[in-house]
Structure 1
Amino acid sequence: MKIGIIVHSQTNNTYSVAVKLQKKLQKDGNEVNIKTVDMVGGNKPQSEDIQIENPPDVTVYDGLIFGSPVHAFSLAPAMKIYLEQIPSLHDKKVALYVTKALPLKFTGGTRAIGQMEKICQSKGGNIMGTDIVVWRGDIDKKINELTQKFSLIFEL
């Protein structure tokens, strides 16, 4: 299966999860590419008028994994804008994850995942799984759990 992992990462945490996912999915026999969602002018939002630089094309993939940090208790603006401009995810398997620093439930992880789900479903995407990675404690264990969970979604 040809899988695209499309991430927005401000601190490299979200990207590092993507790299581990890529390794696991490739080991399982999939063709996997990581593409980043970058803002024109850098990855720190300077205004509400965010533009995406070279938006990744989703049409070339059978399955997609979208990853984003939580930003101000919500989905990062760059990922939200990127997802909203995708024309279609019709008939695509989709998995979603977010990374965040704060372990408390009310700090935006569930909200960010919900925002991603809503947008992807509105584009016809088939949401197969979601996860929240809290960047505390045994982070390697949490990332390994995510990679195992997502590898089952994209089994050949």
Structure 2
Amino acid sequence: MKIGIIIHSYTGNTLSVAQKLKEKLTASGHIVNLEQVTAVNGDPKEARNVVLKDIPDTKTYDVLIFGAPVWAFSLSPIMKLYLSQVPSLQGKKIGCFVTQQLRFKLLGGNNAINKMKKACQSKGGSVYETGIVNWSHKQREAMIEEVVDRFGRV
């Protein structure tokens, strides 16, 4: 299968999870591309006026995995804008994950995942898996491993 992992990462946390996921999927025999959504003004303090610079194309992938950080208890505005501009996800199998600094999922992680799911489903995509990695949690590495394992069962 051809899998696209499309992420927005500001600090590198989301990117590090995506890289581990790419390694797992590649080892399973899939063709995997890791692409990043970037903005001209990617500073979280200026998130209101986001202008995208890199906009990955989703058309060539059988499966898509989207990853992004939680900002201000919600989905990063850069990923939110990107998902709003994707023309169609019809027939695509989709996974969504977020990374958040705060320890508990109810402090933005659940909200961010729900926004990602709704955006993907509104474009015709079928969400097969979701995950939240709490970066300050003492079990962070176990959380990453669990998310990578679940997403790796495409």
What is the letter of the counterpart of residue 103 of structure 2? P
**SS of aligned partner of 1:106:** coil
SS at match of 1:118: helix
> What is the alpha-carbon distance in structure 2 between the residues aligned to residue 93 and residue 11 of structure 1?
27
Query: Residues 104, 138 of structure 1: CA spacing in aligned structure 2 closer, same or farther, 3 A cutoff?
Result: closer
Q: Distance in 1 between matches of 2:88 and 2:107?
A: 30
Cα deviation, residue 138, structure 1: 2.6
- Asked if structure 1 preserves the Cα contact closer than 8 Å seen for 2:26 and 2:32, the reply is yes
Residues 42, 78 of structure 2: 8 Å contact kept:
no
Query: How does 1:125-140 map onto structure 2 within 5 Å?
Result: 125-135=125-135, 136-140=137-141
Q: Is the Cα–Cα contact under 8 Å of residues 4 and 34 in structure 2 kept in the other structure?
A: yes
1:19-49 CA deviation, whole Å, 9 max, x = no partner?
0000000000000010001001344452522
Q: Gaps (5+ residues) in structure 1?
A: none
Q: Residues 106 and 141 (structure 1 numbering): CA distance in 2 closer, same or farther, change over 3 Å? A: closer
Match of 2:114 in 1: 114
Deviations 1:83-142 (A, max 9, x none): 000000000010000000111243110000000000100000010010100112132211
In the alignment, which residue of structure 2 is the partner of 1:36? 36
Q: Distance in 1 between matches of 2:26 and 2:99?
A: 22
TM-score (norm 2): 0.95
Which runs of 5 or more residues in structure 2 are unaligned?
Answer: none
The residue identity in structure 2 corresponding to 1:149 is R
Identity %: 47
